[in-house]
Amino acid sequence: MAAGTLVIASDKYKGAASSPEVCSYLARGFKKIAADWEIIELPQADGGEGTVDAVVNALGGEYRTDSVRGPRGNPVEARWGLIRRDNQPDAAVIEMAAASGLALLKPEEQDPFQTSTYGTGQLLKKASQAGAQEILLGIGGSATVDGGLGAALALGYQLKDSRGQTVQPAGASLKNVTTIDDSQVEQTIKQLQIEIACDVTNPLLGDQGAAKIYGPQKGASPEQVPQLEENMENWANLVEDFAGKKLRNRPGAGAAGGLGFGLMGLLGAELTGGAELVAGLTGLNSATKKADLLITGEGKMDGQTAFGKTPQVVAEIAQANNVKIIIGLAGAQGEGYRELYESFDLLIGLPRRPMSLEESIKETEKNLVDWGEDLARLLT
């Protein structure tokens, strides 16, 4: 193939390489053989870990780090991105996992009755104070089932119980709230335009809701799940009364333990597919219009990848723009990965030889560089 354009638009390989690293390693290998090709690196994400990196990388933002409350109230250093824009309002990109994520807790600390989104609310406030008027909030990887109660407290909402006392930021407090008062919330907070990157469609309540689906994943015992559901229903009634509309059954209302629901009701936030949103922000559609080859991927590709995960979204955009060859390169291939051939021309697993997971993670950089080189030899 004559010299052309390669777009590399991969998500992270969790625990092994960030999305910018994956793209850089592949590009390095490809350039060894095809130095005359134009290579466009567009790291991707789906609203979870890596969203800040992908957006800051694409839009030329700056990183900020602030000390906020972790999911159990312990101080954590959370990084987020600030995007300065000419003739447009400044924007921020935040990952709730940086402040309220499950990865910040030891297994014995996981308890959705005690965890909260307070630190995420603090980050939203920090972004507003820095001048951001628009916020992209990725809500993957949370440790919470508090419906956004903690974030609301951090933003200045007065949440009182039947005795007129302010409730504590914790999932257990959902049952105690009787009033929501926004009179102390700053106007700059109320005017924030918040877009929530969400890759699930669960409602807030019921068999597919925040408590029953996500509670056990975040440490809830079988005995706690029905209580969490009951607590969340009380919160849902109050937030919907405050908002003046029903929100509990909106797709994604149950994501991140109901944080999306709370921000929709209190601040008018909008929920959208995370991978689609990041693809739009990074200019993927425009880049693929001139691409001859595209490589995308993530840590594991399997039958579930087809349901809106980053590689599938990227491949569909590439297909729509008639990219000649679309390659999926994953850290591992799982059951059902061949179903993805409707969207891909070639699917590859990263390991170059039989090896353990630990070895594969350790050799990620080398394997990606090698695959970049081999693909260049095969396709150029």
Q: Is the pLDDT of residue 38 over 90?
A: yes
pLDDT digits (tens, 9 = 90+) for 101-160: 999 999 999 999 999 999 999 999 999 999 999 999 999 889 999 999 999 999 999 999
Kind of pairing between the strands at 38-41 and 293-296: unpaired
Amino acid at 210: A
Query: Which helix (DSSP H) or strand (DSSP E) does residue 8 occupy?
Result: strand 5-8
pLDDT digits (tens, 9 = 90+) for 327-364: 999 999 999 999 999 999 999 998 888 878 888 889 99
| Positive/negative CA dihedral, 22, 28, 31, 33 | negative
* Tokens standing for residue 251: 């797709």
Tell me, what's the pLDDT at 260? 94
- Find tokens 């991978």 and name the residue: 275
- Find tokens 């491949």 and name the residue: 315
CATH superfamily of 51-275: Glycerate kinase, domain 2 (3.90.1510.10)
**CA-based Rg of the chain, rounded to a whole angstrom?**
22
| Long-range pairs for 14-18: beta carbons < 8 A, 24 or more residues apart | 14/49, 14/298, 14/299, 15/299, 15/361, 16/299, 16/331, 16/360, 16/361, 16/364, 17/364, 17/365, 17/368, 18/43, 18/50, 18/53
Q: Which residue has the higher pLDDT, 200 or 34?
A: 34
pLDDT digits (tens, 9 = 90+) for 55-65: 998 888 999 99
Question: What distance in Å separates the CA atoms of residue 28 and residue 46, rounded to the nearest whole number?
Answer: 24
- Measure Cα distances from 58 to 13, 51, 61, 237 in Å: 19, 11, 8, 40
Helix (H, G, I), strand (E, B) or coil at 248: coil
Share of the chain above pLDDT 90, in %: 84
Category of 333 on φ-ψ map: left (φ > 0), alpha (ψ -120 to 50) or beta: beta
Tell me, what's the pLDDT at 1? 66
CATH superfamily of 5-44+286-379: Glycerate kinase; domain 1 (3.40.50.10350)
Domain boundaries, the chain: 5-44+286-379, 51-275
Q: Please, which residues bridge with residue 88 across strands?
A: none
Tell me, what's the pLDDT at 138? 94
**Cβ-Cβ contacts under 8 Å for 190 (sequence gap 6 or more):** 182, 267
Question: What distance in Å separates the CA atoms of residue 299 and residue 217, rounded to the nearest whole number?
Answer: 20
Q: Please, which residues bridge with residue 75 across strands?
A: 69
The answer to whether 152 touches 120, Cβ cutoff 8 Å, is: no
| Long-range pairs for 104-107: beta carbons < 8 A, 24 or more residues apart | 104/70, 104/71, 104/76, 104/143, 105/70, 105/71, 105/72, 105/143, 107/219
Tell me, what's the pLDDT at 86? 80
Question: What distance in Å separates the CA atoms of residue 365 and residue 369, rounded to the nearest whole number?
Answer: 6
* Tokens standing for residue 299: 């840590």
The answer to whether 145 touches 257, Cβ cutoff 8 Å, is: yes
**Once rounded to an integer, what is the mean pLDDT over residues 74-98?**
93
**Cβ-Cβ contacts under 8 Å for 176 (sequence gap 6 or more):** 161, 162, 167
* Tokens standing for residue 96: 């709730």
Taking every pair of Cα atoms in the chain, the longest distance, rounded to a whole number of angstroms, is 75
**This prediction's pTM:** 0.87
pLDDT digits (tens, 9 = 90+) for 165-215: 999 999 999 999 999 999 999 999 999 999 999 878 899 999 999 999 889
Torsions phi, psi for 323 (to 5 deg): -65, 135
- Find tokens 């001048």 and name the residue: 131
Question: What distance in Å separates the CA atoms of residue 363 and residue 103, rounded to the nearest whole number?
Answer: 23
Residue 137's closest CA among 198, 200, 182? Answer: 198
pLDDT digits (tens, 9 = 90+) for 5-17: 999 999 999 889 9
Question: What distance in Å separates the CA atoms of residue 295 and residue 44, rounded to the nearest whole number?
Answer: 12
* Tokens standing for residue 362: 């350790």
| Positive/negative CA dihedral, 344, 310, 200, 303 | positive
pLDDT digits (tens, 9 = 90+) for 267-297: 999 999 889 989 998 999 999 999 999 999 9
